[in-house]
A and B are shown apart, each in its own frame.
Chain A
Amino acid sequence: MATTEITSDVIGTVWKIEKAVGDSVAEGEIIMILESMKMEIPVEAPAAGTIAALKVATEESVQEDQVLCLIES
């Protein structure tokens, strides 16, 4: 089991979280959507796995490189 940290590429806010802890995700599937400079930025799973933890909540501000969630695969 490897745990991967998914980090934010942008400064923005969390707009929608589409997955919950324990959900399985396929590679490329959207986990959450951030909003940055009026653009919706989808955060996708880099590989298939299970959401092990969500580190942010809806409407929370995020910084570049901030960990958003953990995926176990």
Chain B
Amino acid sequence: MRFDHELQELRAREARALAMGGPERLARRQRQGLMNARSRIDAFIDPGTFVETGLLAVSSMVPEDRDRTPADGKVAGFAEVDGRTVGVISNDFTVKGASSSFTNMKKIAHVKRVASERGFPLVFFGESSGARMPDNMGARGMGANLGNDPQQYVRLRETPWASAILGQCYGSSAWYTCLADFTVMRKGAVMAVASPGLASYAIGQRIEAEELGGWKLLSEVSGLVDRVVDTDQQALAEIKRFLSYMPSHCHESPPRAPVPAGSDEAAEAILDILPESRKRGYDVRKIIACLADRDTFFELKPRFGRAVVVGLARLDGRTVGFLASNPMGKAGALDVAGCEKATSFVVLCDSFNIPLILLVDTPGFVIGVEGERNKAPGKIMNFMQALQMCTVPKLSVIMRKSYGQAYLNMGGGRNSDDVAAWPTAEVSFMDADYATEIVNWGRTVSDEVKQRTREEMERDSSAYGLAEIFAVQAVIAPQQTRRYLAKQLAIHEMRLSGGVGRHRLAGWPTTF
């Protein structure tokens, strides 16, 4: 055969690269029930579509690493997922803990650049130990390896990024996870600035991995993770689901999907969910389930900032983002975590041309020392600024309470393109009970007078008061809301720009 020798060498090198960190390490993972970098890609993509880039790349800083760094610990390439092109970076922990090196950083940079410039999503399967040692030690190590790509951590949201935390994620995996638009985590995995071992050594006391960066911390306390799952397979499925709502890039509309049967019928159930007493809480996710196309609601950060519920869904087949007060969490009163979650979600929707639907039932912002210590006024303004700068269609429905500054943050007035109110809506600067106390502050007033003041204030807070001065565009029956929103989405389609917003938030941070 012609070129037999050359072709044999190519095949031998390819086989060595595909063998990853060797049969022993791979078998150990299998025994632990863990997928590896390549099996994760295989399970994620449409079969047979992987085009690998940098298969024969190896580490070159330390000469003996040439033969022990297959694909240099980070498998990279392009593939199709549900028929659409994506870029993939999958960390191979069996090769030097998938530590970052001179060569594999070039591989990541390449896939990132191609995805951004050609317009398709980028997916990271995170599991890495941090910068490779000893390559990065000393002035020569640092100078040669790190800091030579001034675009490395620039995120302008040209295309959606998703990341899965599937093992120990320190260094590169942690940084790219935090730069992503969507993050899913497998229970048992960890993400932190540095490993528990290093952290324990540095501060002189033992820290457990779960305590440092386990799923409870990331999903409930810091909110850096959007969804938590039990297995690698579930994590891959969650990323696919996230991508199904997203456009491939910021210059197109999200894909439309058929409307599942039974979606309109569910809207009728709203009257059974909304309590008649204004003091009774309810789970707003049940309301969203009535408004969205059947089974399409995909909640983000469900256990963080629970005064608001955010998530992607479809309505009349179009991708929409729901941002809703949840009276079950802090009575719907927005706290610092709620503002951070809302801000991050507005930025996501605005960057990828996803209309926002705000469902409002909030008594206002949580006030008190804890919030002030955590920069509550700044967080409220971040959220407000994001909403005002956001140029995708914004539709707001005042379900019950909408008070004070929170009225503006949740899309009241001209902070939405259209505001509808249910007959149960009440809008004012603050709850009538508190307001009565404030207007009578320092005076001796009979309970009768107080009662009269309170009743007057309550009367003036109704949905009809808003409708009369065109502060809302319509008062609608709750069960008509789905149809109303579908029509408003059609009216507010961004025709002049082909469905594309101005993306003034695209350079905003990816975490808040």
- Whether a CB of chain A sits under 8 angstroms from the CB of B333 is yes
Say whether A10 contacts B329, CB under 8 Å. yes
Known interface pairs A39-B281, A41-B328, A42-B280; A9-B306 also in contact (CB < 8 Å): yes
A72 at the interface (CB under 8 A from B): no
CA distance A9 to B279 in the complex (A): 17
Does B497 touch A at the CB level, under 8 Å?
no
Q: Say whether A40 faces chain B, with CB atoms less than 8 Å apart.
A: yes
Q: Which residues of A contact B281 (CB under 8 A)?
A: 36, 39-42
Determine whether the beta carbon of A9 is less than 8 Å from that of B277: no
Number of A-B contacts (CB under 8 A): 32
Chain B contacts for A41, CB-based, 8 A: 281, 327-328
A37 touches B277 (CB 8 A): no
Q: Which residue of B lies closest to A33 (CB)?
A: B280
Q: Mark A33-61, 1 if CB is under 8 A from B, else 0.
A: 00011111110000000000000000000
Interface residues on A, range: under 10
A40 & B329 in contact (Cβ 8 Å cutoff) = no
Q: Does B330 contact A (CB under 8 A)?
A: yes
B306 touches A39 (CB 8 A): no
We find that the number of chain B residues with CB closer than 8 angstroms to chain A is 14
- Per the bound structure, the CA–CA distance linking A42 and B330 in Å amounts to 13
The proximity string for B residues 277-295 relative to A, scoring 1 for CB distances below 8 Å and 0 otherwise, is 1011110000000000000
Q: Is B331 engaged at the interface, CB distance under 8 Å to the other chain? A: yes
CA distance A40 to B327 in the complex (A): 9
Looking at chain B's contact residues, the main secondary structure is loop
Proximity bits, A15-41, B CB within 8 Å = 1, else 0: 000000000000000000000111111
A11–chain B nearest beta-carbon distance, Å: 9
B330 to chain A minimum Cβ distance, whole angstroms, is 6
Contact B330 A10 (CB under 8 A): yes
Chain A nearest CB, measured from B434 CB (Å): 10
Most chain B beta-carbon neighbours within 10 Å: one of A39, A40, A41, A42: A39
Taken together as a complex, chains A and B put the C-alpha atoms of A36 and B332 apart, in Å, by: 11
Q: Mark B330-374, 1 if CB is under 8 A from A, else 0.
A: 111100000000000000000000000000000100000000000
Q: Which residues of B have CB within 8 Å of A36? A: 281, 330-331
Known interface pairs A39-B279, A40-B280; A9-B333 also in contact (CB < 8 Å): no
Inter-chain CA distance A36–B333, complex, in Å, is: 11
Closest chain A residue, CB of each to CB of B401: A39
Give the complex CA separation of A10 and B329 in angstroms: 6
Evaluate whether A9 and B331 lie within 8 angstroms (CB atoms) in the complex, with A40-B277, A42-B281 already known. Answer: no
Query: How far in angstroms is the closest Cβ of chain B from A59?
Result: 17
Tell me how far the C-beta of B481 lies from the nearest C-beta in chain A, rounded to whole angstroms: 21
A42 proximity list for chain B (CB < 8 A): 280-282
Q: Please state if B306 and A38 are interface contacts (CB–CB under 8 Å).
A: no
Bound Cα distance A10, B279 (Å): 15
- In the bound complex, residues from chain B placing their C-beta under 8 Å from that of A10 are 328-330
Q: Is the Cβ of B280 less than 8 Å from the Cβ of A9?
A: no
How far, in angstroms, from A10 to B281 measured CA to CA in the complex? 12
The distance in angstroms between the C-alpha atoms of A41 and B280, with both chains bound, is 6
Nearest A residue to B216 via CB reads: A65
Q: In the bound complex, do residue A38 and residue B330 qualify as a contact, i.e. CB atoms below 8 Å apart?
A: no
**Chain B residue with Cβ nearest A37:** B331
| Residues 292-332 of B at the A interface (beta carbon under 8 Å) | 306, 327-332
Question: What is the CB-to-nearest-CB distance from B177 to chain A, in angstroms, rounded to a whole number?
Answer: 26
Q: Which of B279, B329, B332 has the most CB of A within 10 A?
A: B329
A9-B283 Cα distance, complex, nearest whole Å:
11
> For A9, what are the chain B residues with a Cβ–Cβ distance below 8 Å?
306, 328-329
Q: Distance (Å) between the CB of A65 and the closest chain B CB?
A: 9
The 8 closest A-B CB pairs, nearest first, are: A39-B331, A37-B331, A41-B281, A40-B280, A39-B281, A40-B279, A39-B327, A41-B328
Known: A10-B330, A39-B279, A40-B281. 17 other contacts (CB 8 A): A9-B329, A10-B328, A10-B329, A36-B330, A37-B331, A37-B333, A38-B363, A39-B327, A39-B331, A39-B332, A40-B277, A40-B279, A41-B281, A41-B327, A42-B280, A42-B281, A42-B282
A-B contact pairs, 11 of them (CB 8 A): A9-B328, A10-B330, A36-B281, A36-B331, A37-B330, A38-B279, A39-B281, A39-B327, A39-B331, A40-B280, A42-B280
Question: Contact residues of A with B, CB < 8 Å?
Answer: 9-10, 36-42
